[in-house]
């Protein structure tokens, strides 16, 4: 099992970032590169939660999204072709006195089969840089979305 932790600072508010995380419409991959339209399926969506399948490049996962806490989004993997166990993502937001927001992200990857275990080991080592870059791109895309770009 791999647990990866990242922290970024953004000009977006927690509300703007939560809105982006929970926008399951077309073009989601422009914000989140690992979520392409061909895999995206919203099974259910309520006021503070959703059941969504997403993925890309042959890897998919069904996630239960919980954003009932306005400063936190918890995405728990409920099914996947590679991830199981305690897999998921947690985004925590903290407002800073200068008007920016700290985005704290924890990603847990527990492989449920051989492919998942290999990918989990890769993610936990050399894949950290790829995930860090993906988060940086997401922060930039959310900021551009909120600035009308």
Burial 38-60 (b: 16+ CB within 10 A, else e): ebbeeeeeeeeebebbbbbeebb
Model confidence at 14: pLDDT above 60 = yes
> To the nearest whole number, what is the mean pLDDT of the chain?
93
pLDDT tens per residue across span 89-113: 999 999 999 999 999 999 999 999 9
Model confidence at 124: pLDDT above 90 = no
pLDDT tens per residue across span 15-42: 999 999 999 998 899 999 889 999 999 9
User: Which single residue is written with the structure tokens 């996630």?
Assistant: 63
Model confidence at 3: pLDDT above 70 = yes
Average pLDDT over residues 46-53: 97
In the chain the domains, ranked by start, together with CATH numbers, are: 2-146 (3.30.530.20)
Dist CA 82 CA 59 (whole Å): 7
Average pLDDT over residues 46-61: 96
How is residue 89 annotated by DSSP?
E
């Amino acid at each position: 099992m791999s647990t990866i932790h990242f922290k970024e600072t953004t000009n977006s508010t927690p509300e703007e970032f939560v809105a982006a995380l929970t926008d399951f419409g077309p073009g989601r991959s422009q914000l989140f590169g690992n979520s392409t339209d061909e895999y995206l399926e919203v099974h259910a969506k309520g006021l503070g939660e959703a059941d969504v399948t997403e993925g890309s490049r042959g890897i998919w996962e069904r996630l239960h999204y919980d954003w009932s806490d306005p400063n936190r989004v918890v995405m728990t993997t409920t099914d996947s072709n590679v991830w199981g166990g305690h897999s998921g993502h947690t985004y925590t937001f903290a407002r800073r006195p200068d008007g920016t927001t700290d985005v704290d992200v924890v990603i847990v990857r527990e492989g449920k089969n051989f492919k998942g275990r290999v990918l989990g080991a890769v993610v936990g080592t050399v894949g950290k840089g790829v995930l860090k870059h993906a988060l940086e791109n997401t922060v930039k895309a959310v900021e551009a979305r909120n600035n009308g770009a």
